[in-house]
Amino acid sequence: MTIKYTNFSDGIHELEFQEPVEKLKLDSTFFGNLVLTCKMDKSAHQIVLDCSLSVNSRFNCDRCSVEFVRELKNHFILSFLFSKERIQSEDLNLKFLSPDLDKIDLTEDVIEYTKLAVPMKKLCREDCKGLCSKCGANLNEEQCGCKVEIVNDVWAPLKKLKDRI
């Protein structure tokens, strides 16, 4: 995913890329094509890319273990400043371009932001009920007859104290 920015005049330009996830070397969680849309704001001193990506993914639910498919999206902004000096920045979204270059390669940034789009808790749906801790039944599909009893009753010491009084 490379932009040859010397082909564009100063101003705002809309760009769209589609790449197979295999070409980006993303793991098997992702499938199909990754779609990247960017709004490039180019001026004499800098280039600002306002990007959104979209990719299909396949997960197992953390609560009920059912496999599900979800479209992941992420939005990010990258700023490129033209500089003759080689400057290192701690800001990950600020990069420096040498005047000798005429292209910006977004591949590594796209891979990173794709991985950041993966949720920490993967749920097939927001109200997933999970599995029964006794019989293992999927509570989204059926109600089991298991009786749930409280093993760690936090009020037990107070109940004992109440019985003494």
How is residue 71 written in tokens? 């479209």
How many residues can be counted in the chain?
165
What pLDDT sits at residue 5?
A: 87
Distance CA 89, CA 9 (A): 27
**What average pLDDT values come out for the chain (165 residues) when binned by 10 residues?**
87 93 91 95 91 96 94 94 73 78 90 94 92 86 79 79 81
Residues 6+ apart with CB under 8 A from 34: 18, 19, 20, 21, 24, 26, 53, 54, 55, 110, 114
What pLDDT sits at residue 89?
A: 63
Q: Is residue 50 within 8 Å of residue 77, measured between CB atoms?
A: yes
Any idea where the domains of the chain sit in the sequence?
Answer: 2-116, 129-165
Q: In whole angstroms, how far apart are CA 138 and each of 53, 61, 115, 123, 146?
A: 33, 11, 29, 14, 12
Distance CA 165, CA 160 (A): 9
